């Protein structure tokens, strides 16, 4: 009997190692069909899941309460499974080189608990070659087993879009790959249990690894192009959103918009690709240029804030600036690699300590990662400048009475609104006489 059939018949289990924004939804979805062990080193996270709290806000508290996932921080529970999915983060170091310590650590843990006949599938974003050249040796060393003989390996890049309730796990085509035909077929069949959109069988593990970094690098470059345009249009006194709206009337327009590029994927993955390319003697021309532009957008926005404050006759060091949002994207609690921090740091250079509001973010995460103490929106008043930095629904749905209530009692021409995401109506703002700027 094949491993897939044993899993389907609940004779064998699936384990998911790493229960964050990627691993937890996968574990919950598989648990609707088969037996699942969900492992994470973070004991606090495990306890929250056990108590029915979805700290990622990806599937919701009800789904966590109802799931049959066996949540655990005891690594020996992994031994009860035969199909292992590794979904740990792969960040970058301060010098922009890949930090593979999480995936290496996860490989060590899985290796210590690996049994014969198992399949290990990595979902963590890596550059081509990591699964076979780095992960396999660790698994073999820790387990004493031989890859290809005692266990098989595969790679299936995560493509979840955090906070997106439309393009969910089940609705995104899953790229799968295996070390040989047999493992590829088994891996594909297992994922087909939960992926309604179907799977794409990549020709090799390296192809699947490359596809992930390539698709995110492509998106990063396209956003960088729009960001560069926005910087030029700003000098030309042309509204970028108006240009994009006109441009998008053509059928083959790509519909990208300028913005801050953070998070654990698009702002990170290109560096993985560039790192491996440079090891092979090729220096990136386009990808690094795009990264440079996108990494500089926080400073560009901060400088626009300072300029508008000066034009509104504000004393910059005394200005009360309120930043609405600190997560890396809208309707998501994830604060990792948020470029809002770049805005804050640049404002600090001008003597401004901005007030930061974010109803979605964890106050603990904001403090630990960026040293920011989040403030409740209802406690904000007498602002000189509002920075709509993240398009959370809570900010999108604010009416003009609510917005105006956050400012001090002075003329509208002295009230500065910075609209990073372009969520407000420029026509309405200009009618009201506010000092307005958007990316």
**CA–CA separation, 423 and 439 (whole Å):** 11
Report the candidate in 395, 394, 393, 430 with the shortest Cα–Cα distance to residue 412. Answer: 430
The β-bridge relationship of strands 174-178 and 151-155 is antiparallel
147 is catalytic: no
Q: Which two tokens stand for residue 179?
A: 């070390």
Sole residue written with tokens 């937890």: 24
What is the DSSP-derived secondary structure letter of residue 149? Answer: T
What stretches of 298-362 adopt beta strand conformation (E)? Answer: 321-324, 355-357
62 half-sphere exposure, CB direction, 13 A CA radius: 0
Q: What per-residue string of b and e applies to 156-183 under the rule 16 or more CB within 10 Å gives b?
A: bbbbbbbbeeeebbeebebbbbbbeeeb
> For residue 92, what are the CA distances in angstroms to 87, 106, 147, 345?
16, 17, 28, 20
Q: Which two tokens stand for residue 71?
A: 């949540």
What stretches of 167-241 adopt beta strand conformation (E)? Answer: 174-178, 199-201
Long-range contacts of 309-312 (CB under 8 A, 24+ apart): 309/384, 309/385, 309/416, 311/435, 312/384, 312/413, 312/414, 312/415, 312/416, 312/435
Partnered with residue 122 across adjacent β-strands are 86, 155
Report the candidate in 370, 243, 365 with the shortest Cα–Cα distance to residue 298. Answer: 370
Q: Which two tokens stand for residue 423?
A: 């969520």
Partnered with residue 407 across adjacent β-strands are 383
Kindly name the residue from 147, 265, 332, 385 that is annotated as catalytic: 265
The set of catalytic residues is 265
């Amino acid at each position: 009997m094949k491993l897939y059939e044993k899993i389907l018949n609940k004779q064998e289990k699936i384990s998911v190692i790493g229960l964050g924004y990627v691993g937890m939804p996968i574990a919950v979805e598989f648990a609707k069909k088969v037996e699942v062990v969900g492992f994470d080193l973070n004991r606090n996270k495990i306890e929250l899941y056990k108590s029915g709290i979805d700290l990622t806000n990806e599937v919701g508290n009800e789904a966590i309460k109802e799931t049959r996932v066996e949540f655990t921080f005891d690594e020996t529970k992994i031994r009860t499974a035969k199909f292992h999915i590794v979904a740990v983060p792969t960040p970058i170091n301060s010098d922009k080189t890949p930090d593979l310590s999480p995936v290496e650590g996860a490989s060590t843990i899985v290796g210590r608990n690996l049994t014969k006949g198992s399949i290990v599938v990595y979902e963590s974003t890596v550059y081509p070659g990591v699964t076979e050249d780095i992960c396999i040796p660790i698994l073999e060393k820790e387990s004493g087993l031989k890859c290809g003989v005692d266990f098989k390996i595969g790679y299936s890049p995560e493509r979840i879009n955090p906070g997106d309730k439309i393009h969910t796990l089940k609705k995104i085509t899953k790229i799968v790959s295996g070390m040989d035909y047999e493992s590829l077929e088994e891996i594909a069949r297992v994922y087909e249990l939960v992926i309604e959109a179907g799977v794409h069988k990549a020709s090799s593990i390296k192809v699947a690894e490359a596809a992930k970094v390539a698709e995110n690098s492509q998106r990063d470059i396209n956003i960088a192009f729009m960001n560069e345009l926005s910087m030029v249009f700003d000098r030309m006194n042309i509204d970028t959103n108006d240009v994009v709206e006109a441009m998008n009337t053509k059928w083959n327009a790509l519909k990208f918009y300028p913005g801050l590029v953070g998070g654990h994927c698009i702002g990170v993955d290109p560096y993985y690709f560039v790192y491996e390319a440079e090891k092979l003697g090729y220096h990136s021309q386009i990808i690094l240029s795009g990264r440079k532009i996108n990494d500089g957008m926080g400073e560009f926005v901060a400088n626009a804030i300072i300029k508008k404050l000066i034009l509104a006759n504000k004393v910059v060091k005394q200005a009360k600036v309120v930043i609405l949002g600190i997560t890396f994207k809208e309707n998501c609690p994830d604060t990792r690699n948020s470029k809002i921090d770049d805005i804050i740091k640049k404002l600090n250079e001008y003597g401004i300590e901005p007030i930061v509001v974010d109803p979605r973010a964890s106050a603990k995460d904001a403090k630990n990662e960026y040293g920011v103490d989040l403030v409740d929106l209802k406690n904000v008043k007498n602002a000189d400048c509002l920075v709509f930095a993240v398009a959370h629904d809570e900010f999108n749905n604010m009416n003009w009475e609510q917005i105006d209530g956050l400012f001090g009692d002075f003329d509208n021409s002295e009230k500065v609104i910075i609209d990073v995401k372009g969520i407000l109506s420029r026509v309405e703002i200009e009618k009201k006489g506010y000092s307005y700027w958007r990316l």
